[in-house]
Amino acid sequence: APANEAIESKGIVRLNGSWDRPSAYRGSPSPDLEAAWDRVTADGRLMSMTLEELLKIGEEPAPFMARYPEEYGGDYVATVEVIHQLHCINMVRQSGWGDHYTATDADFIKSPDKWRIHLDHCVELLRQIIMCHSDVTMVTYDWVEGLDVPYPNFNIPHQCRDLEKILDWDNVALPLPP
């Protein structure tokens, strides 16, 4: 894939999935929270892909494929899949805040059924990706005072890619012309 040049390992990183751990990507809806999500999902972060790059990823050009106008190079419109995956998890996050997003989301207001179909698409895609990657990192359990059963310790090491390097590479993206 063209983005392979942007893949760089961060090595072993301890991800902290504790229930109460603060993060720029969790919490009540706020301008800062939206800005964090927009930075990694903004408008799909569309970019151009040449015919040669398209063929390298195993795709065949077809008349229905979106392309930039010739004055913008005529290349194919693309995005890096991790951007779409983050968009999907953001949509799942937003659905957990119910009325806050559904009252202001133009797509939901216009067509709640279409919005739910979109959400179902996201859940199904994320399921497939999680099952495809099948993370075998072991989660240990701790005894916690006040609980009758062991509690999972989600503060565990993972081998990670550097998302910032991928986002930096993706910043060469060309927006769709008006």
pLDDT means per 10 residues, the chain with 178 residues, are 77 85 92 93 81 92 94 90 93 87 69 87 97 93 95 91 83 61
The answer to whether position 157 is within a domain reads yes
Evaluate whether 135 touches 158 at the Cβ level (below 8 Å): yes
Domain containing 162 equals: 2-170
Which pLDDT belongs to residue 166?
Answer: 84
Give the phi and the psi of residue 86 in degrees, each rounded to 5: -65, -40
The answer to whether position 176 is within a domain reads no
The answer to whether position 178 is within a domain reads no
Cα–Cα distance for residue pair 144/155, rounded to 1 Å: 15
Evaluate whether 25 touches 36 at the Cβ level (below 8 Å): yes
If one counts the domains in the chain, the total is: 1
The answer to whether position 175 is within a domain reads no
For residue 25, what are its two tokens?
A: 């990507």
Evaluate whether 156 touches 171 at the Cβ level (below 8 Å): no
Which pLDDT belongs to residue 126?
Answer: 97
pLDDT in tens, 122-171: 999 999 999 999 999 999 999 999 999 999 999 999 888 888 888 887 77
The answer to whether position 135 is within a domain reads yes
The answer to whether position 177 is within a domain reads no
Instruction: Look up the pTM and report it.
Output: 0.84
The answer to whether position 47 is within a domain reads yes
Which pLDDT belongs to residue 1?
Answer: 65
Which pLDDT belongs to residue 69?
Answer: 93
The answer to whether position 138 is within a domain reads yes
